[in-house]
Amino acid sequence: MAKRKKTIIAGPIVKTIIYTAPEPQDGKRARAEKSRMTSAAQKAMNDKTARGRLEMLLAANFTGRDLFITLTYRDTDLPANRAAAVKNVRHFLKLFREHRKARGQELKYIYTTEEKHGEARLHHHLVVSSNGEDIEIIRSLWPFGDIVDLEYVGKFGYETLAEYVTKESVTGRPVGAQMWTASRNMKKPIVKTAYVPNDTMLAVPVGCHIIEREEKVTEFGNYCYIKYRLPRGYKEPPGWVTAGEKGRLEAFLLT
């Protein structure tokens, strides 16, 4: 009997889970119980929800020194509708991208447009890559509001930002409206799935910080889920290990 293992690596954040999966020779009850185990494992992994996907996308592409921005409108410049607001934020990003390109720099971004909470005014939230010298440029490129809030991503963390950006439910959005829009140059998280021996146990590399851990055991099987942060000095490829250790680390993460 083998278990199923899935690992998602997104920048410094790693989610990994190992669980007992149904097998062809299982009886009806065993298959049903293992199917429930599989569903519980998927729920714990949370990579099929909008918030879970966004959290890992943010982690794969942004650091703590990148920026979380809120763009608002003064009364005289408040757009007539959502479409007009989206047009404004796209124009802002076009100008910002051109500014970066002229200096040989890349711009990554995620944005969302909201209007269903608080005072129900149209506004935008963005996460953008930053070179540390962008704040005044950003303010100059947004002429529609008196307030442009800027904070470092590191003040919030990826999970908190993902929750905030997806807080307006799907049912509260216009039909066809996306929860968020991302630039095309975003890196996707690394995903690896495999069957592993039944006695395989989950652990984390030395120096990592465990964020979440969840386990469940029944007579038909079990699952274990761990979410953790790699050390601050982690690079891609890892720069906090020796060349000889690099292969062992990659094997640890992906097999």
Strands of the chain, DSSP E: 2-10, 13-20, 67-71, 109-114, 123-128, 148-152, 181-182, 190-197, 209-218, 221-229
pLDDT of residue 248: 47
pLDDT of residue 193: 86
pLDDT of residue 204: 84
Query: According to CATH, where is 3.30.70.1910 located in the chain?
Result: 65-156
Alpha helices in 102-223 (DSSP H): 135-141, 158-165
Expressed in angstroms, the distance from the first to the final Cα of the chain is: 17
**Residues constituting the chain:** 255
pLDDT of residue 240: 38
CATH no., domain 65-156: 3.30.70.1910
pLDDT of residue 135: 87
* Contact yes or no for 177/169 (Cβ under 8 A): no
pLDDT of residue 128: 97
CA-CA distance, 183 to 112, in Å (whole number)? 12
- Asked if omega into 237 is within 30° of 0 (cis), the reply is yes
What are the pLDDT tens digits along the chain (255 aa)?
577 888 899 999 999 888 776 554 444 555 555 556 556 556 655 555 788 889 999 999 999 999 999 999 999 999 999 999 999 999 999 999 999 999 999 999 999 998 876 667 899 999 999 988 888 899 999 999 977 789 999 999 999 999 988 887 544 555 445 688 999 999 999 988 888 887 888 888 888 899 988 887 665 567 788 999 988 765 544 443 444 444 445 554 544
CA-CA distance, 234 to 250, in Å (whole number)? 12
- For the whole model, what pTM was predicted? 0.78
Q: Could you give the C-alpha distances from 71 to 46, 119, 125, 155, 183, in angstroms and in order?
A: 29, 15, 6, 18, 18
Helix (H, G, I), strand (E, B) or coil at 69: strand
* Two structure tokens written together for 43: 């729920």
pLDDT of residue 223: 78
pLDDT of residue 117: 66
pLDDT of residue 52: 86
Strands of the 221-229 sheet, one edge to the other = 190-197, 2-10, 13-20, 221-229, 209-218
CA-CA distance, 51 to 6, in Å (whole number)? 18
